[in-house]
Chains A and B, each alone.
Chain A
Amino acid sequence: MGSQVFLQHLANGISLGSLYALLAIGYTMVYGILRLINFAHGDIFMFGTYMAYYAITSFMLPWWLSFILAILLTVIFGVMVERSAYKPLRNSPRISVMISAIGASFLIENVAIVVFGGRPKTFPVPEMFAKVLSLGEVSIVSVTLYTPVITLLLLALLLYVVNKTKTGMAMRAVSKDYEAARLMGIDVNRIISFTFAMGSGLAAVGGIMWGMKYPTLLPLMGMMPGLKCFIAAVVGGIGDIRGAVLGGFILGLSEIMIIAFFPALTGYRDAIAFVLLIVILLVKPTGLMGQNLTEKV
């Protein structure tokens, strides 16, 4: 394999990894606070992509306005999902909450099949992102370069919000101890909604970038990336935002690189994430950056 092909794969891997990272952050934040796999996260991602699609094609809005609108709508949608599917079960057994999450995911997917239609749609990629850049001998679609940059900027913003602002402090407090945070006067429900809003916003950004890189939209498009990104969050250490980004990059790079080096394994691509998950759970169940938690009796 020549160095230019390698660089090409590297760029693709980093770009895919940053998409995974955007989604994984949403999983990790929700899990950190509610100890719940938000199964519907992948479908929120799908929703964001479709919103951007309709804003551009049906309402003929300029692409930047469409993207902002899509992100806002997805944020509202994400908070709505939390309010209707998770909030009523806050004190129920975990198995019920998990079933509710799976049910919400399937409901969104099936409604999407009815409303958006089961036929694939093609995402209208704005010119700015579709340009082919040639760096030396490597030619790359510009969205491949923009994606990691946007991801890192959003990560910096998110880390600022979580670590420096009052809301961020409240978020950290809720994830450390839900009850104690409530007793200290933190409006826990507001913080949870805020977490879902941020996660959904990032999922929407991820969805739009995904649509520009892989422009086939399907109502079930969020299922596989959703599962994989949860795995990325687990690999990085669930509850840790930097860990989620690290996990996303590891997963994206290994998917692209393993197939680049062993083309015979192409068919097994979707299994790589699950193998990675099982290995990490056996070797270091808390994830790469996770802290050890002892179980309280």
Chain B
Amino acid sequence: MKKHRLLTALAVVALIGLLGVFNLTFDSYKLRILNLCGIYIILGLSMNLINGFTGLFSLGHAGFMAVGAYVSALLTMSPELKDTVFYAVPIHPFVKAMSAPFPIALLLGGIAAGIVGGVIAAPILRLKDDYLAIATLGFSEIIRVVATNLQSITNGPLGLKGIDRVVNTGWSWGLAILTVYFIKKLMDGSYGKAILAIREDEIAAEAMGVNLFRHKMYSFIIGAFFAGIGGGLLAHMLGTIDPLMFRFILTFNILLIVVLGGIGSITGTVISACVVTSMMEVLRFLEGKMDFGFFQIQGIPGMRMVVFSALLMIVILWYPRGLMGTKEFNWDYILQRKYLNIFNKKKKKKTVSEEN
């Protein structure tokens, strides 16, 4: 156990070192992708907590993100900036007055999303499976419609512009590492065991004394909180947000990450968040002009999403629980497989020869 902890610490230090190197060598475009990877790790984990670990099929992520993004952005924007952005409809005086430094704004955004998640969860946790999916999707659409229409608070369809773009690799990956740590601790504890029990068999879990409603509720609130943090980070990375950003397609992207990685696997989500986010950029060539020397293909807009939805279909048809399933990264596995095996074999041989 001690060895594992040491190895994990070393790995984290190595990761931070690697990120530091990336931070110095990457241009702004690549840094942006790197930051997006970090943010999508947070978003993927928060969805995996609700959908993968607790087994509640929620499609409300875009809504929670919208709450986090709007709350944190409105807190960090200066009153003068707000006046210029809200030129169509004057801003509500309270919204104009509120302000907070970025870390607190981010936290408050997450808390607001968590509260919204709790308020939504209270009535709809009575539902199951597909009803829950449709109801959460419905709430997320309602949040978007409200954001479009509540012009004095959200600036309606015009969205918010000129948000401080303070998110750097430290913020995105720092919070991503913290999220991984938090979710891991959560899943190792009694709470994690309880929600896994709920996923496997609700009735059996209830019979064993697990309070279904309370555990599901926590899962929803924590998931929504991290979604809100992710939304706030996204807002402070892009600099602009508008209601159209938070359509169902955003939830779909996160779902894609969760499903490809493994429904119920932290490791899988982390890997697939990085892979999917990078591939989204790499596959841009599909939409541009392709030159094969002897003939050219005109770029087809929308081709990337075809690839991704086809990928999702392929994975779900052949690996119904995602590529990693519920498996996790494990030091023992790596040590035994890769390196210790050699030692073990040698030892065995020695003992055999000694016996002879």
Residues of A within 8 A of B (CB): 31, 35-37, 85, 88-89, 92-96, 98-100, 102-104, 106-107, 109-111, 113-114, 118, 223, 227, 230-231, 234, 267-268, 270-271, 273-275, 277-278, 281-282, 285, 297
Contact = CB atoms under 8 A, between A and B. Distances in A.
26 contacts: A36-B130, A37-B134, A85-B313, A85-B317, A88-B317, A89-B317, A95-B129, A96-B316, A99-B259, A99-B316, A103-B313, A103-B316, A104-B313, A107-B310, A110-B305, A113-B301, A227-B137, A227-B141, A230-B134, A231-B138, A268-B146, A270-B145, A278-B124, A281-B127, A281-B135, A285-B126
Given A267-B149, A270-B145, A278-B123, A114 B138 contact: no
Interface of B: 51, 55, 57, 123-124, 126-127, 129-131, 133-135, 137-139, 141-142, 145-146, 148-149, 203, 248-249, 252, 255, 259, 263, 300-303, 305-306, 309-310, 312-313, 316-317, 320-321
A118 B309 CA distance: 17
A95 B145 contact: no
B29 to A, nearest CB: 25
Contacts of B320: 89, 92-93, 96
A85 B313 CA distance: 8
B55 A99 contact: no
B309 A110 contact: yes
Contacts, number: 116
Contacts of B138: 227, 231, 273-274, 277-278
Nearest to A267: B149
A37 B57 CA distance: 13
A231 B129 contact: no
Given A93-B321, A267-B145, A270-B145, 6 more contacts: A98-B57, A102-B252, A223-B248, A234-B134, A271-B141, A274-B142
B312 to A, nearest CB: 4
A268 B144 CA distance: 10
A271 B309 CA distance: 27
A88 B130 CA distance: 19
Nearest to A297: B203
Contacts of B146: 268, 271
In the A-B complex, the 7 residue pairs with the smallest Cβ-Cβ separation, listed nearest first, are A274-B138, A96-B320, A107-B309, A113-B302, A267-B149, A106-B309, A103-B312
A6 B305 CA distance: 44
Contacts of B137: 227
A274 B120 CA distance: 13
